[in-house]
Structure 1
């Protein structure tokens, strides 16, 4: 869905010539498979009389490059890709494009994404890859009406008949178009309504336009403004014949139209619902958080905050809405949780780099007065529910387990025998000793303290001989009373720590080690490299990751073995090296595309601080 519902400028400054050269190189690298230096010069001219202005936008967060009043390129803050605007696409018509029909264009101009049934696929030479910047145009009109990023490649599209194929980032008539000259490329464009085929200006005649200069390709752009009535066609009969022959040529067009009306208009309906429910992002987050607590009264605590947000808060959002932390004033989950702690709704604790929710005040006025809403997870009309759940399931599953030491086994086995329901989830009993997860140990300890009357005011526990023996307390000098949380933490620290990556993985001794993203200086600090290690442990193909990173960041990427990493003749570990500083971008790629939990992607900055 296009992000340019409105445009608010933060700063606006001319771009230095050195930065323009760098920008040209980056654009050429990104689209090197088709774009030429001449076409890059057409987008970003060398002429000193044509200043290139960099506009930083606060809403949405993006960088926009403007040449002679018209925006020509933009780069969302969340992406490393450059996108051409429609003004650029009308000049450089060779940009790859998916073709659709006029009936679909009205939905695209309303902000909807492009659905697969609305795309012409009768050309066997038409191929594209996932995450490619690609335009959209109506068959019979050479000028693009939108641009976005492909969600699936053409190989996957051949196996499917439904679903989204392109996430639209910008379209004719949105706020970014309004920021420019508000030009209209030809009489087929009707602002806010539809894009139609233009008689006598089809793809066969497009080759001349592609080789022509920007002035020729944009003749009607400079003469027709938004709001002007398009001139009458000189041959309406010819127009009708041309349009009908185009439709008749595609034997599946009727099915496409039916699918659009019967199913994929739902996408536009959802867009309208989101606008109708136009809830402030902060309020939406709070509502979803309270809903998750309300409908899960027996939530097992402590729980990882990231897991709680992904598996409980997101599905609890009101039906027809999209939850985006970055759109809120909190920006990050940690900041939001601190606000909830300040309001005394929850209590949290940081443990090994992860935030745990350890307590919820079920009697809190905020929670008691909250009225539940129709959540996305329970709405039959919410078509994106399955996608959200599937996304959750794709997150790499990492478990931490605790193994009893010899002197602790009898104590824990006795506790477990008295609470078989707590032990139902235990699946690994290797080496003759049971393994426990932290939530199981929490419940066992809580049951033991209550059963033996060891509770004291203010959540203090009176230590007895069994607990002292379990923790191997010193005979003298050890406290006889401890807060329950401290006692539980000491319990975990006294046991052996193991971990498992993947639901079917094997238990391994020690804590799980995060993927390291290391940034280092090169050439005395003038250049940098980014090294990524420990990906193989998480089942990530290093060669595939290197290819994805090279394409996404337009940076050279190599894969090499880590010297001395092979153990007892085993397979050595590898690392991916990127030329440039891309720490934050790599973490975003790991967590977003490869579904690594955020707390397991660690940035290590080894660059020397200047001035020291």
Structure 2
């Protein structure tokens, strides 16, 4: 969640404000912590079980008192990139000069001049849906097993430290129960009982059958982990860490001082990995010296008593991943954590490098390539085809890569994308054809198989991980599409006895269109067909008009002197459908693709962006643009962007000059130097092939092409014909 730099401090370019908490809020947080944490050690079957439980609870209470009731506690509210709201609760470090323990049995171990430590997080998922999560700092002070724990092999830790979520294939053991319904878990390394990460278990994971080899998807959504930005912001100054280590307390579990910057654990190494304590004590040069200086015999005995839940590394079974063509892709996590929101991504490598299992570099790049291609195939629509294979790779495959990754074709067994394409043709994923000159038989992408198992797997994963209504976050160029909608006039319903639910769109597939009376072309034709079948008016390809249908299609108000016009009695089905469509009231829907999410519904014609080019007396051209505000585009910002992209002069007018149509309220008119009609068309629609100007590339806009009206005044040369894709 805090993988990006400064993501725990800044949001939307502003620094989060720390607000001191009242005593009532402190007590509320402490009560929430008691409800979330386990209130008894996991194994209490001995004769002294009752006394062990009492000692465990007393130790927890002392830590919670020190964290929430002592010292200064403040809250910091942040908004992540995916729009999710997070509240962090920061505990100030203990005063380094006050070492008395007469009045208080336990003091906060993090001391000045260390920065404030985050002890608790609240994640807002919506109304009355807040997730309470203890931080890794608080878990480092609490007794072990205060939170349900999932142990993993230490090879996995470096991927978690980079910001990855824990996949189901990497989970071999699940907690037996949870003290609350929120399923918050801690992640530890085998042989090191101190948690390195905390998150929530995915709802799809209910038993051991849902995890382990041959399973797919995210197992634990990581909130905070050792090595993320939250850890970096809480590090003490480097020049003071040595002095702090001499004075600070030692973590009895980890064998190091809390203020050393690694949560008091020798196995936590430089924010990049976590190793078992037995091996870290041998490799850490200062471990023995620290134990002698602080007399930490208890930490050594703790490590000797630790029973790792996994066998020795030689016997640790490798993590396997299902899918013939998606081998290893279950370990690629793509999240916006955008959530989102941040998107984390990782591959579990399988080579032997520095004594660790690591996937070969060739397999890594091949897995990334196939994952990106399947994701791009899922994002394609029928209207996009056919297209050049090179365009498919550049505009769809590359943007579908997990964030922060690179596909190196030279490090795959294919070496070239064309070789990979030939293999996928045999697998039935895509179909290709030759170009116009028949020189390259694999030049054009003709069709794709969206029902391919690999593509369906990607679609299911994206829907399962989607933050809003299960809508897919599949990559690909985002578009806005204008859809024509129709409304049945109210005086048609009674004469034709139309179905009221069908007329009001009560059963529409989208929530925005339900009960709005806005119908698609298919739906209004279904109303007509229903009437023709009910009244038995259809005869093969002809329709015999009855009285109500004739009145609906041809009746109009007559004025004195108008001749009486005869109406036809028999029409073809096509003529009746066109006449019926012509009588409907018009509307429109602005739909965001991919995802089919309706952004705006409206009656009447859709709003238009007007581009007008005129020639001045100096034989130079001027381009005027209006209507950007209808699509939430700031005219002044757009003018600045255009001037930078196309190296032209521009100005913004809020009042129309004499002789021109009056501007609507809150609208402006852009006046740009030169004939920029093709460049603006390409920039607004995102279709780079409309113009050869490089400034139109990487457009952030996605206006529908039919929402742009172009007017060329006298003296302006006609536009070149837009390229039309070849037919299948």
TM-score category (smaller protein): 0.3 to 0.5
TM-score (norm 2): 0.36
User: When you count helix as a share of all residues, which structure comes out higher?
Assistant: 1
Q: Which protein is bigger by CA-based radius of gyration?
A: 2
TM-score (norm 1): 0.42
